[in-house]
Amino acid sequence: MTADRLGFLLARHGQTMKLRLREALSVCGLGPRHGAILLRLAQAGSISQQALLEALTVDASTLVAILNDLERDALTERRRDPTDRRRHIVEITPEGRSAACAVEHAVADVEREAFADLDAEEIAQLHTLLARVHVRPTTEPGAGTECAPGCAPE
């Protein structure tokens, strides 16, 4: 069942993984993005909002909504950057660390099941390879080959 383009395969499995993560994290009342942010913060303690934007590949307005949720639940806090009062720095709270721990467990469960057929080395390989795919387009849109002649429908 590998009779599928790698691009489609990646898109499809990514979608499935997102759905599973959502289900697993719904126990904690969080979405996948919320979880990813909490884990980052649990590692780093505090991150600038800009850095989160780059790391998570989300729209700025989306990030605001997520941070509002987290702050409403007292899991994170935003404070102004003293050196540039336009910028926000996001910090994790003690409650946030507890939640991050829960997220860690939930994600680990999902991963254990999803990657059950791979051994540790293969999982590491997959991780490394995935980390090396380009997330952002490097060339201008439209730079590639156009649709072949006579291909366009309608």
26 binds, among DNA, a second copy, none (CB under 5 to 8 A by kind): none
Structure tokens at 87: 């910028």
Residue-wise over 130-144: b if at least 16 C-beta within 10 A, else e?
eeeeeeeeeeeeeee
66 binds a second copy (CB under 8 A): no
Contact segment (CB under 8 A) with a second copy among 32-40, 45-53, 59-67, 78-86 equals 32-40
Torsion sign across C-alpha atoms 42, 113, 30, 101: negative
Residue-wise over 93-128: b if at least 16 C-beta within 10 A, else e?
beebeebbebbeebbeebeeeeeeeeeeeeeeeeee
58 binds DNA (CB under 7 A): yes
If the CB atoms of residues 27 and 60 are measured against a second copy, the closer one turns out to be 27
84 binds a second copy (CB under 8 A): no
45 binds, among DNA, a second copy, none (CB under 5 to 8 A by kind): none
52 binds a second copy (CB under 8 A): no
CB 87 within 8 A of CB 48: yes
87 binds, among DNA, a second copy, none (CB under 5 to 8 A by kind): DNA
Residue 8 sits at φ, ψ, to 5 deg, of: -65, -40
Q: Residue from 27, 60, 101, 108 that binds DNA (CB under 7 A)?
A: 60
Who's near 88: CB < 8 A, 6+ residues apart? 48, 49, 78, 79, 80, 81
79 binds DNA (CB under 7 A): no
Contact segment (CB under 8 A) with a second copy among 45-53, 60-68, 81-89, 106-114 equals 106-114
Residues that bind DNA in the complex, under the rule CB under 7 A: 15, 19, 22, 31, 33, 48-50, 53, 58-65, 67-68, 78, 84-88
